[in-house]
A and B are shown apart, each in its own frame.
Chain A
Amino acid sequence: MGHYLRNRLLQAVVVILIIIVGNFILLNAVPGDLVDVLAGRGGDMDADLMASLRARFGLDDPLPIRLLDYIRNVLTGNLGYSWPHSQPVLDVVLQRLPATTLLVILSVITSVFIGTLTGVFAARKAHKLTDVILSMVVLVCYATPIFLTALALMLIFSVQLGWFPLSGLTTAGAEEGILATAADMGRHLVLPVVSLSLFYVAIYARLSRASMLQVLTQDYVRTARAKGVSERGVILGHALRNALLPVITMAGLQITELFGGAVLTETIFGLPGVGRLAYDAVFARNFPLLLGILIVCSFIIVIVNLLVDLLYMKLDPRVELTK
């Protein structure tokens, strides 16, 4: 197990290095550099000044030196400076992280819970009418892009019915106090969370239905029945734990997809998360910020992947043998 873990960590480090190098390449592919940006902001700047600035920032150094500098910078948390915010990129990104994290966590919990419940229920009714109808609904949810769900929900529940606020995370000038703020945030988060969940509900439903059906044919389920375990006990105590193993993997995938993948949802609902930040960075052509977001999200994803692997190892004692 220690060996496996060490390998896994080593792989993660290599992956992070590759991502940093990739970022560096992209950053260099962008037309214009930091000095051009400064020149653009300060009006005219004569060529001599620009050249000396380039020298000072090390932009004239040969590529390999700049790459090493870049790697060192990234690893020490220096992701560059975001001029429009007058703040280091890392600070800007970190300020936006809580909103995204909240969104992701709520959406993962919601979709795992509802999706698995639906899937297990459908598996128990396999090939009956309920299952067929559920499968069709699930299929449509599975085919609906998240941003369309978000648009439709906003149209119905915010614009038409007015049940939920149109955009943002909090109401300006709302009541003070922790409870009131939480309730206010909750109201703002309902539609974004539902939008981000529906597609994943469909995935979990399909996944857990298939996995439950597969598990229910396993011999140990028959053993449990032969032991006198009740139907409920068979499902909850024996089948579900095994059937949920692929769900864990999928939940890890969902978390990693939504960090930085919620651009559209955050934009539609005007949530102050990293996705929205990325959207703004694109149109401000603020590439250091955009790539900073990419790096931070990648870091988070690498860590989440490691944690999911650990969790999986804990839940499935056989993993140590197969890896």
Chain B
Amino acid sequence: MTLSTPICASADPVSHPAPILTVSDLRIETTGPQPAALLESVSFDIRPGETLALVGESGAGKSLSALAILGLLPPDAMRVAAGQIHLGRTDLATLSARQMRAVRGGRVAMIFQDPLGCLNPVLTVGRQITEALRLHKGLRGAAARARAVELLELVRIPEPRKRLDEYPHRLSGGMRQRVMIAIALAGEPELLLADEPTTALDVTISTQIITLLRQLQADIGLSILMITHDLPAVRMIADRVAVMYSGRIVETGIADAVFAAPRHPYTQGLLSARPRGAIAAGAAPLTEIPGAVPQPNERPSGCTFRPRCPRASALCAQERPAMPPATSGSKAACHHAGTSTDHARAF
């Protein structure tokens, strides 16, 4: 696999068509007597045909962001405390439960990390695909089966007709993730939320899945929110990157720009933390910056990255750095943002 410039033929981010998804100032809190903020003023948007990669250490709030879009946060544990999520022009908060169900799997679909656990073990692959077809396309019986075969072909599963009657445990890991993608595509979504779709797979398989997603994007003009720890995958597929740390987005920009010249000390840490050889080895953990992500209820004053930051100053302890207003390049929420040749060298 080559690591040349990513090919993003489908989108031209500079021309700024209207975003299909806009998340603005999203705040998610735990319920209970002492609510802790799990997400704080998270804002990002995704334009048609574009891929936005959401990266960051475990516990940063990446999955919560995606689940919030679909309205699937665990209701007994957390709630959206502020902010809006717009799908096109529609504010998702204004939708009824029925309308929201039409969005789930319809306009927005989601795939997850562990494809075995995510497929119902007692239902055949066919049942699980045709269910989505029935819900969103009104297809039943033979028509649904025929379309399911097409979908399995679309995700490059050999002998699709045979696979329909198979149970998930009989398939390989990569095959299962392809089935998950086929289910996701059943409703012909505009936006695919992919939450670490390759983490549970080994390197060659994960490359195949990423390649498949890219091809699909080119074929059907899908927008993708790609949550991942897999930086090579990000380079392959992402148009833009948003880096999350401790419930906030700390840096965002065009993927190439961020990779070439990260501005936030955390992003720089992330990129340099990757041993060079690991690029070929696929998903290496992003945890090689000393220290750990603070628990949502134990965040320090000022900048939450301060305890781990080599550039921290007195100002950082007093004031939480805000995200600067939109610029054409990348932007970082840091009092001392700036490129450092030292870190850029790693790439």
Q: A-side interface residues toward B, CB under 8 Å?
A: 218-220, 222-230, 237-238, 241-242, 245, 315-318, 321
Is B104 touching A219 in the complex (CB atoms < 8 A)? no
Is B121 touching A317 in the complex (CB atoms < 8 A)? yes
Contact of B119 among A223, A228, A321 (CB under 8 A): A223
User: What are 27 A-B contacts with C-beta separation under 8 Å?
Assistant: A219-B118, A220-B120, A220-B121, A222-B112, A222-B118, A223-B119, A225-B70, A225-B72, A226-B70, A226-B104, A227-B104, A227-B105, A227-B131, A228-B101, A228-B102, A228-B105, A228-B132, A229-B101, A229-B105, A229-B131, A241-B122, A242-B121, A242-B122, A315-B122, A317-B169, A318-B167, A321-B169
Q: Which residues of A contact B180 (CB under 8 A)?
A: 223
Is B169 touching A228 in the complex (CB atoms < 8 A)? no
Nearest CB on A from B272, distance (A): 34
Q: Which residues of B contact A229 (CB under 8 A)?
A: 101, 105, 131, 135
- CB nearest neighbor in B for A241: B122
Is B120 touching A227 in the complex (CB atoms < 8 A)? no
Is A317 touching B112 in the complex (CB atoms < 8 A)? no
How many Å lie between the Cα of A241 and that of B114 in the bound state? 21
Q: Which residues of B contact A237 (CB under 8 A)?
A: 131
Contact of A220 among B118, B135, B136, B167 (CB under 8 A): B118
Contact of A318 among B101, B104, B117, B121 (CB under 8 A): B121
Q: Which residues of A contact B131 (CB under 8 A)?
A: 227, 229, 237
B197 within 8 A of A: no
How many Å lie between the Cα of A75 and that of B187 in the bound state? 61
- 20 other A-B residue contacts (CB within 8 Å) besides A220-B117, A226-B109, A229-B131: A219-B112, A220-B119, A220-B121, A223-B118, A223-B119, A223-B183, A225-B104, A226-B72, A226-B105, A227-B104, A227-B105, A228-B101, A228-B102, A228-B135, A229-B101, A238-B120, A238-B123, A241-B122, A316-B122, A318-B167
How many Å lie between the Cα of A36 and that of B152 in the bound state? 77
Q: Which residues of B contact A230 (CB under 8 A)?
A: 101
Q: Which residues of A contact B104 (CB under 8 A)?
A: 225-228
Number of interface residues of B (CB under 8 A): 29
Report B87-121 CB contacts with A as 1/0, cut-off 8 Å.
00000000000000111111001101010011111
How many Å lie between the Cα of A237 and that of B169 in the bound state? 19
A-B pairs, 9 with minimum CB distance: A228-B105, A219-B117, A228-B104, A227-B105, A317-B167, A220-B120, A226-B110, A228-B101, A219-B118
Q: Which residues of B contact A219 (CB under 8 A)?
A: 112, 114, 117-118
- CB nearest neighbor in B for A316: B122
Is A228 touching B121 in the complex (CB atoms < 8 A)? no
Nearest CB on A from B163, distance (A): 14
How many Å lie between the Cα of A223 and that of B104 in the bound state? 10
How many Å lie between the Cα of A234 and that of B52 in the bound state? 30
Nearest CB on A from B31, distance (A): 13
How many Å lie between the Cα of A237 and that of B120 in the bound state? 10
Q: Which residues of A contact B103 (CB under 8 A)?
A: 228
Is A316 touching B121 in the complex (CB atoms < 8 A)? yes
- CB nearest neighbor in B for A223: B118
Q: Which residues of A contact B118 (CB under 8 A)?
A: 219-220, 222-223
Is B183 touching A227 in the complex (CB atoms < 8 A)? yes
How many Å lie between the Cα of A219 and that of B112 in the bound state? 9
Nearest CB on B from A313, distance (A): 12
Nearest CB on A from B101, distance (A): 4
How many Å lie between the Cα of A241 and that of B122 in the bound state? 7
Q: Which residues of B contact A316 (CB under 8 A)?
A: 121-122
- CB nearest neighbor in A for B103: A228
How many Å lie between the Cα of A317 and that of B128 in the bound state? 15
How many Å lie between the Cα of A265 and that of B106 in the bound state? 56
Q: Which residues of B contact A218 (CB under 8 A)?
A: 117
- CB nearest neighbor in A for B101: A228
Is B119 touching A318 in the complex (CB atoms < 8 A)? no
How many Å lie between the Cα of A230 and that of B109 in the bound state? 15
Interface centre among A218, A226, A316 (most CB of B within 10 A): A226
Nearest CB on B from A58, distance (A): 55
Interface centre among B70, B106, B120, B169 (most CB of A within 10 A): B120
Q: Which residues of A contact B72 (CB under 8 A)?
A: 222, 225-226
Q: Which residues of A contact B122 (CB under 8 A)?
A: 241-242, 245, 315-317
Q: Which residues of A contact B105 (CB under 8 A)?
A: 226-229
- CB nearest neighbor in B for A225: B72
How many Å lie between the Cα of A241 and that of B120 in the bound state? 10
Q: Which residues of B contact A224 (CB under 8 A)?
A: 120
- CB nearest neighbor in A for B71: A225
Q: Which residues of B contact A241 (CB under 8 A)?
A: 120, 122-123
Nearest CB on A from B73, distance (A): 11
How many Å lie between the Cα of A28 and that of B90 in the bound state? 84
How many Å lie between the Cα of A193 and that of B136 in the bound state? 46
Q: Which residues of B contact A226 (CB under 8 A)?
A: 70, 72, 104-105, 109-110
Nearest CB on A from B50, distance (A): 21
How many Å lie between the Cα of A218 and that of B180 in the bound state? 15
Give residues of chain B (186-211) contacting chain A, Cβ–Cβ below 8 Å: 187
Nearest CB on A from B43, distance (A): 23
Nearest CB on B from A43, distance (A): 67
Is A228 touching B106 in the complex (CB atoms < 8 A)? yes
Contact of B169 among A222, A225, A238, A318 (CB under 8 A): A318
How many Å lie between the Cα of A316 and that of B120 in the bound state? 11
Is A223 touching B169 in the complex (CB atoms < 8 A)? no
- CB nearest neighbor in A for B124: A317
